[in-house]
Structure 1
């Protein structure tokens, strides 16, 4: 149990957990991961038979990881120390863990939420929306991403190398367990109104944004790759079409200014695609358990410093060739005035190709940096 000034409810939580261990015959202990309590929570925990582990690094994620690392059992069941979860009813979690599941999540929407136990903002918007996004981005079977009561195989979770320090730790566990191929399941659990007189540590908008930010950043395909590809192809095709001449769709006309903005869209989209690819390669390089697709494996085999430099150089040279032709035409006029519309139609795609080529070369150089062999501690 992570703990930060939980003197009002800590004793009853520990007693329920010890009562479950005694009744069920499960050999275990209660570990309190204390995150700097100043209300005597540590003494209360020891008086009720729990082992206290002092975690100096602040944050929900830090407290939980410290407690998990200090635990000695094969299985760990974690839950908040505010008496909102009933530690005397852990049989469903233990049964699924003994059956081979490596992460067992509680589902409060299936088990029941007591009146006043969850703010309406969390119940009808925050939790359902964030859980839906998690299922969509990572194909997770979990429908309650943020339930504070969950059990897991300790070593399996340690092998995920969890990194977040705050409330987004709850999402990281589910996401990395899913991506890592762990056996994941849900069991119904209840949520009661907590027994504290003070306000909870959770901050709705701040912590909700941290969860959403983690989900998006950890899924570069949806945040960068797909939007980037869409923007790149729309911008590139639109710019090339307008290099031939103006286009009228219904009562709307597109000409040079549209071509300039479409070229900018193509550049931004291409940068997003490169970022998505390099992010995934970096994640693989650092040992994150992110499953590869066939398309990505094909791309990874062919995307190297040399191949990127060659492709980028070709793009740059094509754009440069168009620019040189335009310069020659300008010289032939004695550096006089040229037809602005015609010149602009060709200048924009030339600049676009040169920019894309330069970006590709720099992406290849960065990939070369990633692939430099280092001896790590």
Structure 2
């Protein structure tokens, strides 16, 4: 019986002919030195510089991944890996595949995801651009820790190890550079056991520019973090705007307020408060819709918050919307009656505009809430996708003739 493979060392590859052989030799050297039953897998993403031949010639198993993208290459390689554990790293010789002992030790100890930390292990001169080292990576890693409660210090380290089955169960979906963030975020949300080890980053050995594009890929990482955290993107800003708008509007509803003997806030500030309320309500609605959609379709794991969302039925949302619209219409009718009592003549702008702003704010908020309720309820429509096998075969009249018993001649 062949021995079970314990470790797969996975390298995504796109035109890495200059450094691929070196990385494979280091990886195979580690497996031999450590006495680990393992394999080296190169997930090729359509190289045209001979990388595929180099991989095979140096003893790696080649996996061709047709879908373009860093994440797609890794996903294809993980799916094809035969090891219980997988350690992935870039094939540009920026990580030392001959020194993977800390990763394997943590995996054997029970960690399901082991991240490298370049800031603790050391960044060699010229290995990372200053923009990435002092702004990009620290800011994005801080956002990941803040949004998702992770303790990882280096969200985007390309060298990491994991339990293959545990990561496959996360159903990772992104195909680009944000795959690295998705793995950490979903692992954190799923409650996997996560560790971190110091890792040294070396200057890569290529003569060409790296595939990474600072602003494009940085934005993709940040966009992913925001979209996976509707609380920070929509809910918290929305609640803040709602509270500020309602408090400020309540203060100014009775009339102008003197902050100092020479500073007064009145209608213009009252109008800003109305805008805060409308935008805040819309932002909170987006947060609820986004959370419901993401948890229902598996982008975000379910939590106790989903029970509250299920209680917000369409009927209850519409009831609140109707109340707001009724308040707005009632205020408008009252304003028209006041105008009629003056024979539709000139009105005191200061007093009349105050109630007109209140009426329009209530009307717009009610209409927004109603439309958001319908949008949210669409997500709850049960779907059943029938397979081809579920459909009966079409009726073939000739089959009836063929199945008739034949008469004896």
* TM-score, scaled to structure 1: 0.95
Match of 1:14 among 12, 24, 32: 24
Correspondences of 1:285-300 after superposition (within 5 Å): 285-290=296-301, 292-293=303-304, 296-297=305-306, 299-300=308-309
1:312 aligns with 2:352: no
Q: 1:101 to 1:376 in 2, by over 3 A?
A: farther
Q: How does 1:220-239 map to 2 (within 5 A)?
A: 220-239=230-249
Paired with 1:298 and 1:210, the residues of 2 have a C-alpha distance of 31
**Alignment partners' CA distance in 1, 2:169 and 2:81:** 15
Alignment correspondent of 2:394: none
* Contact 2:27-2:98 at 8 Å conserved across structures: yes
Report the Cα offset of residue 27 of structure 1: 1.8
Q: Does 1:167 align with 2:168?
A: no
Whole-angstrom CA distance in 2 between matches of 1:140 and 1:156: 17
SS of residue matched to 1:30: strand
Distance in 2 between residues matched to 1:153 and 1:252, nearest whole Å: 63
Find the aligned partners of 2:25 and 2:306 in 1 and give their Cα distance: 52
Report SS of the residue matched to 1:233: helix
Give the one of 279, 283, 292 matched to 1:281: 292
The 5 A counterparts of 1:1-377 are 1-250=11-260, 251-290=262-301, 292-293=303-304, 296-297=305-306, 299-376=308-385
Partner-residue secondary structure (3-state), 1:273: helix
Separation in 2, partners of 1:376, 1:283: 19
8 Å Cα contact 1:180/1:289 also seen in 2: no
- Give the whole-Å Cα distance in 1 for the aligned partners of 2:173 and 2:354: 50
Please state how far the C-alpha of 1:146 moved relative to its aligned partner. Answer: 0.9
> What per-residue deviation string (whole Å, max 9, x for no partner) do you get for residues 46-71 of structure 1?
00111111112211111111111121
SS state at 2:38 partner: coil
Q: What's the RMSD between the two structures over aligned residues?
A: 1.5
The corresponding residue for 2:3 is none
Partners of 1:12 and 1:18 in 2: how far apart?
Answer: 10
Determine the C-alpha separation between the residues in 1 that align with 2:318 and 2:68.
45
Give the CA deviation at 1:331. Answer: 2.7
Moved more, 244-253 or 234-243: 234-243
Residue segments in structure 2 that go unaligned for 5+ positions in a row: 1-10, 387-409
Following superposition, the deviation at residue 302 of structure 1 comes to: 2.5
Q: How many residues align?
A: 375
Distance in 2, matches of 1:352 and 1:236, equals 11
Checking the alignment, whether the CA contact within 8 Å between 1:7 and 1:39 is kept in structure 2 is yes
Q: Is the 8 A contact 2:228 2:299 kept in 1?
A: no
Distance 2:24 2:301 in 1: 37
